[in-house]
Structure 1
């Protein structure tokens, strides 16, 4: 899963990136509103952490532009603790949740997990399919109760497929959602990750829909 962090304070931006990457996400970061609008409109982001006090273009304007363009990824806005009017304006502009500064990183991660679950229709923080369990809180995976060790990219592939259980996900879509913008993307590596996951989770767990992509779980009706 891929997260866009929009924050002009360098220290906080770096802290957010480190925490999100440690939690298993691919992370893009930008420091101003104009670039945020461009990246959010052109890149495949699963969720956005958006500060409202940005240079060049404020966060509310960025959010309003995205929603006017029907860019629909979940957005968590960051506001000053006493700026209740910003919270209201942000929700009215199309934000999905808000968090007041200063905040605990654990709460931000929990709120992001909740947004991603709602976006994919999942009810629990633990995703389970055919004996495979993926705990989004700890980025841990198990098979029939036994822990399975995955690399970062293997985890991102599995997480994306399980968040979209029943749907066919193309190789291009996987590439867009498991790598950050500045990563050197190689489409052939997706097949490598799929092969490794099948070795660790069973050949039948990930189904190849010939000419279309990959699927886990029963097909969507």
Structure 2
């Protein structure tokens, strides 16, 4: 009688009293351990195949000892690059002896776990740092070219976008005094009285009317 069972991520064909070396288990030496993920059980001519595992089947074993496998050399080389790296590795193993193979009716046991080294988790970016980028992306997602308003240059347009005014419609709804306050840090003598009205024409698509008016303006001043 034999069985095919999954132990610590690998499949093994096992028989009673057989010694098997598997990836390191957390079970202490001398303790019993049971494996429920049995994929196939063969008893003479009777073969039972799971889908994928056989319900009620179980393989029992005893942990003999924990040990390390033979050293494996990992050598990497890149031609004409001067790159050579040599590393050695010894896999952590557990020696077990198969005690029993039950085809059905076994109680479910807690699965044996493979020992894995914990890897440090990358810290999530702080919300405070991520917020400005998200806000800027939202503000500039459907931005209009504010420089089409007479009197607005690249620096002022950038300042307005940073303040959350990125479209003609938003600029049209903003009071001229508020605009002056927003761009107060930009050097120059800026007259903002006509900017909301210009932005309104732009938002409505009245470009001919806006162009005619702008021909009469001087830096945004009537």
Q: TM-score, normalised by structure 1?
A: 0.22
| Structure number having the greater helix percentage | 1
Structure of greater Rg: 2
Q: TM-score, normalised by structure 2?
A: 0.22
